[in-house]
Amino acid sequence: MAEKMLGGAGASRTSYQRYPRVRIREMKDDYLKFELRDTDASMANALRRVMLAEVPTIAIDLVEIEVNSSVLNDEFIAHRLGLIPLTSDDAMSMRFSRDCDACDGDGQCEFCSVEFFLSVRCDSDQTLDVTSADLQSTNPRVCPVDVAANALSSAADGYESAEQKGIIIVKLRRGQELRLRAIARKGIGKDHAKWSPAATVTFMYEPQIHINEDLMETLTLEDKRSWVESSPTKVFGIDPNTQQLVVIDAEAYTYDDEVIKKAEAMGKPGLIEIYPKEDSFIFTVESTGAIKASHLVINAIDILKQKLDAVRLQDEESDMKELTSHLGNL
Amino acid sequence: MNAPDRYERFVVPEGTKKVSYERDTKIVNAASFTVEREDHTIGNILRMQLHRDPIVLFAGYKLPHPLQYKIIVRIQTTSQSSPTQAYSQAIDDLDKELDYLKKGFEDEKTRFEEKLRQGY
């Protein structure tokens, strides 16, 4: 009671927290499809934005070229190296070079960087491909993702296919050479897209389809067929036994309104109603391989939490303002 | 050549505050919060959470300019409360929601992995 009489200041207030639910449909290392319910589009979109631009990974950021007699110029090669995805499971616990105090701002210590070496020379008449497999890492936990995947699969089945050659950096002909040192650092997609762990992240509203069964009864089979055909995606079908209209795949609906327009053109407005469920989302997450898709989601939640904590009002500051404003009112 | 450093988009410059708060001079219980180096990600979830609170009469945010890396959140509340309180409450609730979501996701992940294992 006392709390209620006090009104706001200091009293514990009712919470307007939501309790979102998750259901995973499909999960692979680099692909995830899940349902998110009981929250709103702002949260779904915040998660999507964080996954794309603010979950950290490791990528090559600095290249010192010793010898480059290839056909590509130095900066071209440096750029290509930067775009190679590196295994970044340690990125969340790694330091950003700019906040690292172990090294004096040059960002080249073991806490905030990983060193790579590459040294290839072509001595045959055949063109030599320099690939991500030629990059020598000084930290076995950080290496090009295709190299890591091949190490796993070839350990399992013991053969190498033609596709397991790695990501091509440059091609060399006889006598050409490439020798360099590269530094990989932690970063986020907001800084440069090479640090983005996400290939694509999308979400859609779950469609809710209401069929007016009474009105549907008045349609002939022919009418039903042509109505089903009017949808550009395969959302509806006709049961071959009962000749009843059935929803095959509600999520194939692209909110194109074609079936609604068709119903109107047939003189049956209100045959169908489709609306998006505003609190239900279907997410698809594809990772570059730098981190697992499931980790990408978990890391995104953590990052969003950190961001929220950073925008909290500093206590002394708000208290002082509140106090002075009260004194002013007196 | 004279392009600003890329990190200026997300690193709060030294000497500036992440969040500053200014009361409205004309309307009671109204205030603007300037949040440095944040964008729609934070702005929109904060606004929507504030709308869920019946004590809040108005809540909105804007990104004044794409090259000014800050957002402005405006809140007006009833006389029973204050904008600072509503702001802190919204962050607390969002924080708890994310805690719940994280736990829910991790549980679902282990459940799904268990299901896959039994399928083989």
- Under a CB-based contact definition with an 8 Å cutoff, are residues A235 and A247 in contact? yes
Domain annotation for chain B: domains and CATH numbers: 6-118 (3.30.1360.10)
- Name chain B contacts of A310, Cβ cutoff 8 Å: 18
Residue A28 is predicted with a pLDDT of 95
Higher pLDDT, A98 or A125: A125
Mean pLDDT of B12-37: 95
pLDDT of residue A8: 43
The secondary structure of A43-96 as a DSSP string is HHHHHHHHHHHTS-EEEEEEEEEEEE-SSS-HHHHHHHHHTS-B--TTGGGSPP
Is residue A329 in some structural domain? no
Residues 65-104 of A with CB under 8 A from B: 98
Bridge partners of A121, per DSSP, are A177
What pLDDT is recorded for position A9? 45
Question: Are both A127 and A168 inside the same structural domain?
Answer: yes
* Cβ contact A312–B91 (<8 Å): yes
- Claim to verify: residue A129 and residue A220 sit in the same structural domain: no
- Domain range for A227 is 213-270
Q: What is the pTM of this model?
A: 0.89
A188, A61: one domain: yes
Residue A20 pLDDT: 97
CB A168 within 8 A of CB A46: no
At residue A41's C-alpha, the angle toward residues A186 and A212, to 5°, is 145
DSSP assignment letter at A9: T
Residue burial A5-14, b: 16+ Cβ < 10 Å; e: rest: eeebeeeebe
In this structure, are A159 and A218 located in the same domain? no
> Can you give the CATH number for the domain in which A244 is found?
3.30.70
Closest residue, chain B, to A10 (C-alpha): B85
B80 vs A contacts (CB less than 8 Å): 7-8
The number of C-alpha atoms within 13 Å of A56 and in the hemisphere containing its C-beta is: 17
Please, what is the average pLDDT of chain A?
89
Both A174 and A63 in a single domain? yes
Pick from B21, B47, B91: which is nearest to A308 by CB? B91
Q: Do A42 and B48 touch (CB under 8 A)?
A: yes
**Which one is predicted more confidently, A153 or B78?**
B78
Q: Same domain, yes or no, for A131 and A235?
A: no
- Domain end (from A125, A158, A192): A192
Q: Is the pLDDT of residue A235 over 50?
A: yes
The percent of residues in chain A predicted with pLDDT above 90, rounded, is: 77
Residue A284 lies inside a defined structural domain of this protein: no
Residue numbers in B near A295 (CB within 8 A): none
> Mind telling me how many Å the CA of B1 is from chain A's nearest CA?
16
Q: B9, A190: Cβ pair inside 8 Å?
A: yes
The answer on A165 and A89 residing in a single domain is yes
Cα–Cα distance for residue pair A175/B64, rounded to 1 Å: 56
- B90: nearest CA partner in chain A: A16
Tell me if B80 and A312 make a contact (CB, 8 A cut-off): no
Looking at the fold, whether A67 and A98 belong to one and the same domain comes out as yes
Task: Identify the weakest region by mean pLDDT among A99-113, A165-179, A259-273, B11-25.
Answer: A99-113
Tell whether A79 and A184 lie within a shared domain. yes
Cβ B100–A20 below 8 Å, yes or no? yes
Query: Which residue, A22, A5, A37, is CA-closest to A205?
Result: A37
Please report, as a single letter, which amino acid is at residue B89: Q
Give the residue-averaged pLDDT of A141-152: 90
Residue A89 maps to a domain: yes
Chain A contacts of B105, Cβ < 8 Å? 22, 297-298, 301
The count of structural domains within chain A is 2
The pLDDT value given to residue A316 = 59
Task: Please check whether residue A20 lies inside any domain of the structure.
Answer: no
The answer to whether residue A60 scores a pLDDT higher than 60 is yes
The whole-number pLDDT of residue A328 equals 54
Calculate how close chain A gets to B108, using CA atoms only, in Å: 6
**The amino acid at A219:** L
This model of the complex carries an ipTM of 0.96
Within a 13 Å sphere around the CA of A71, how many CA atoms are in the beta-carbon half? 11
* Domain shared by A66 and A181, yes or no: yes
Q: pLDDT above 70 covers what percent of chain B?
A: 99
Instruction: Report pLDDT digits (tens) over A178-202.
Output: 999 999 999 999 999 999 999 999 9
Q: Do B108 and A313 touch (CB under 8 A)?
A: no
Nearest to A263 by CA among A295, A237, A228: A228
Residue A150 in tokens: 């091949």
Question: Are A185 and A106 found together in one domain?
Answer: yes
Mean pLDDT of A295-308: 97
Does B45 sit within 8 Å of A46, measured CB to CB?
Answer: yes
Residues 166-185 of A with CB under 8 A from B: none
Q: Is B95 exposed, middle or buried (0-12, 13-18, 19+ CB in 10 A)?
A: middle
- What is the per-residue pLDDT for B91? 97
In a domain, A70, yes or no: yes
- Nearest CA distance, A112 vs chain B (angstrom): 16
Sheet holding B19-23, edge to edge: B19-23, B30-36, B70-77, B56-62
CA distance A232 to A261: 12
Q: How many CA atoms lie within 13 A of A212 on its CB side?
A: 12
What is the reported pLDDT for A320?
A: 59
Q: How far apart are CA A103 and CA A108, in angstroms?
A: 7
Measured N-to-C along each axis, helices A293-310 and A41-53 cross at an angle, to the nearest 10 degrees, of 110
Interface contact flag, B91 A317, Cβ < 8 Å:
no
In order of A2, A207, A307, B3, B32, the CA distances from B36 in angstroms are 38, 37, 12, 20, 13
Q: Is A40 on the interface with B (CB under 8 A)?
A: yes
Which of A270, A290, A319 is the last residue in one of the domains?
A: A270
Measure A321 CA to nearest chain B CA, in Å: 9
The verdict on A73 and A171 lying in the same domain is yes
Q: Which of A270, A297, A315 is the last residue of a domain?
A: A270
Q: What CATH number has the domain bearing residue A63?
A: 2.170.120.12
Q: With cut-offs at 50, 70 and 90, classify the pLDDT of residue A6.
A: very low
- Establish if A148 belongs to a structural domain: yes
> A321 and B23: CB-CB below 8 Å?
yes
Q: What is the pLDDT of residues A72-111, one digit of tens each?
A: 999 999 999 999 999 999 999 998 988 887 776 566 788 8
